[in-house]
Structure 1
Amino acid sequence: MINLRKILAIGTLITFSQLSTAETQLPKAAIFDLGSLDTITALGLESQVVGVPKQVLPDYLKQFNDARYTDVGGLKTPDLETIKTLNPDLIVITGRQAGQKAALEDIATVKQVNASGENYWESFSKNTTSVAALFNAESAADTALAELNADIESTKAGIKDHPRILFVTHNNGSFGLRDEPIATQLLGLDPSKVPSHVTPQKRGTRTFTSLSVSDIAQMKPTTLFIVDRSAAIGNTEEALDIKKLKADLVDKGGQSIQVAYLSPKLWYLSGNGLQSLRLQVKEIADAL
């Protein structure tokens, strides 16, 4: 099995994309980034996966619950000893595993992926091609990206009546404004205006904008999209009571607002993959 750390230690950085398959095997990978996992699957490379965080897999990746794939721990609690026994060439992570990055780098080469919302399609495309390059699959990735882009443009053209949208994250009864570039950048949807009395709050290095049900009703979106963090991480007792929310919106004058409850794990734990982005675009379009 190839040891990527030895390859990367050479003076000139050599990636798998620069080596022909005749010269090297494709890397065996432990994947914590679920978007990368669904991209690898879309490119027909799932046989290269040796480990995944099984406890958080969304329904569309349920095939990785199979015994041929090893459970490598939680998204924030990688099982280092189990990963060592797999002897992977590559470990793909996101910011959720950043605290364990050094420890993971002692096991294998680590690739950290992140998607920026500033130019989402550009960032998404770069992530996709960079992951594909590790498996000599750049050409397949380019084809898949072109097909996905065409599907998104077709979906965008089919949206009528200029709906106003509002995305929020729910957590144990509280709501926070969610910037969703898939809706605004890729589908060109107009976000509802935030009331002037609502201001962002700083929590450490992160910025949050809390919204009350009254605020949401005042914003009057055509459709309110909800990403339920509580449900996504398994806190079912704290998950959103949709019937109560709809009743509360009516009480606050928001009876015209459609409420769309999005697939929790898809939106909170996954995303930024060839499969997940397609599913997310469909969920938005289906709700409008």
Structure 2
Amino acid sequence: MNLVARSFSAALVALAGFAAIPAHAEDMTIKHAQGETAVPAKPEKVIVFDLAALDMLDRLGIAAAGVPAGPKPSHLSKYTADDIAKVGTLFEPDYETVNAAEPDLIIVGGRSAAKYPELAKIAPTVDLTVDSKDILGSVEKNAQIIGTIFDRQADAKAEIEKLDADIAALKEKAAGKGKGLLILTTGGKVSAYGPGSRFGILHDVFGIEPAAPDLSIGNHGQPISHEFILQTNPDWLFVIDRDAAIGREGASAKQVLDNDLVRQTNAWKNEQVVYLDGANWYLANGGLTALHQTVDQISQALDKAK
């Protein structure tokens, strides 16, 4: 998908699917993943249950009045402050706190999407779930929706164009740099993700040639062993440490991978094991800043290719 090729106004209708009531009206109708919602123009008090959406609001300079408790990417650390209301978790809202906040708008997505019906009874609610099979399409769509609601259309358009350009440069840089394998570690176990999977953006969009193109694409990846890593022998090993991302104690990804089998791979021998920012990938995948930081990290790693 070429994100810049489509005109911004056309994409608003075709992708975001919103239909704004004339400018003099106070509300606009937003079509989202779970229906249509009448949303007030430029709502002042916003509660956000999805970290990719929070990332996007933050990138566009829009404050959130309430967020879920729990770990967050470093660029969203300010939302751990006590003066920001904690309205539940990524999975389970604290309905009493949400009610008491009297929000003008509630945003759900991903892990919180199942709570849409209950939250929609409290205040106008939209579902900005990111489609893992079309992350960039979702990012564009969600940025346009947020830009429209908060009258930040020009900022949203500029952000989309910048991201598209940065990804195009990364894809060009990745050509001919070798094959990569993306793995996730948790509880001492390892899973791999390939094209078309939850983290398939590494191959499908960023252009890293897959070392294992036929992995299962389930949400939890394909369980693998250290032997599998050696047999696959990737030139690059991209690693997400889930336990670190969610603040769980346990063996780090570096400890899990530091063994005789993995040390024999080209990736290890050439110092091309890239420990990705787990919070960006696991918690805020589909956020604007998270994606920019991901692109920068992979680009810098490729610059050091041997």
Shorter-chain TM-score range: 0.7 to 0.9
Q: What is the aligned-residue RMSD (CA, Å)?
A: 2.7
Alignment partner of 1:127 is 2:142: yes
Residue 272 in 1 paired to residue 286 in 2?
Answer: yes
Query: What's the counterpart of residue 211 of structure 2?
Result: 192
1:214 aligns with 2:227: yes
Distance 1:117 1:65, change over 3 A: closer
Q: Deviations over 1:77-110 (max 9, x none)?
A: 2211111111112111123113322221221122
Alpha-carbon separation, structure 2, partners of 1:20 and 1:69: 32
Q: TM-score, normalised by structure 2?
A: 0.77
Deviations 1:109-166 (A, max 9, x none): 2211222244432232112212322222222211211122112222333346432111
Q: 1 CA distance for matches of 2:267 and 2:159?
A: 38
Unpaired segments ≥5 residues, structure 2: 1-17, 27-39
Within 5 Å, give how 1:57-72 maps onto structure 2. Answer: 57-72=72-87
Could you say which residue in structure 1 is the equivalent of 2:122?
Answer: 107
Q: Is the 8 A contact 1:56 1:233 kept in 2?
A: yes
Counterpart check, 1:26 vs 2:39: no
Offset of residue 213 of structure 1: 0.9
CA contact (8 A) 1:52 1:70 kept: yes
Matched pairs, number: 265
In structure 2, what is the Cα distance between the partners aligned to 1:270 and 1:201? Answer: 20
The alignment-based identity, stated in percent, is 30
2:280/2:291 contact within 8 Å kept: no
Matched, 1:246 2:262: no
Contact 2:191 2:220 in 1 (8 A): no
Give the CA deviation at 1:192.
0.7
Show the counterpart of 1:39.
Answer: 56
Q: Map 1:147-226 to 2 at 5 A.
A: 147-159=162-174, 161-178=176-193, 179=197, 180-193=199-212, 200=216, 208-226=221-239
Cα deviation per residue 1:223-279 (whole Å; 9 max; x = unaligned)?
111112222222112x4241451324346x325433222122111111212111101
Q: TM-score, normalised by structure 1?
A: 0.81
Contact 1:89/1:108 (8 A) holds in 2: yes
**Structure 2: how far apart are the matches of 1:32 and 1:283?**
26
Amino acid at match of 1:188: G
- Identify if the C-alpha distance between structure 1 residues 21 and 170 changes in structure 2 by more than 3 Å, giving closer, same or farther: farther
Classify 1:186/1:86 alpha carbon distance in 2 versus 1 (closer, same or farther; 3 Å): same
- In the alignment, is residue 235 of structure 1 matched against residue 252 of structure 2? no
In terms of mean alpha carbon deviation, does 223-232 or 255-264 score higher?
Answer: 255-264
For residue 22 of structure 1, report the CA deviation from its aligned partner.
Answer: 8.8
How many angstroms apart in 2 are the aligned matches of 1:101 and 1:91?
A: 9
Structure 2 CA distance for aligned equivalents of residues 19 and 221 of structure 1? 55
Secondary structure class of the residue paired with 1:230: helix
Which one is further off, 151-160 or 134-143? 151-160
* 2:109 equivalent in structure 1: 94
Larger mean Cα displacement after TM superposition, 115-124 or 27-36:
115-124
Matches within 5 A, 1:8-27: 17-18=20-21, 20=23, 23=26, 26-27=42-43
Determine helix, strand or coil for the equivalent of 2:190: strand
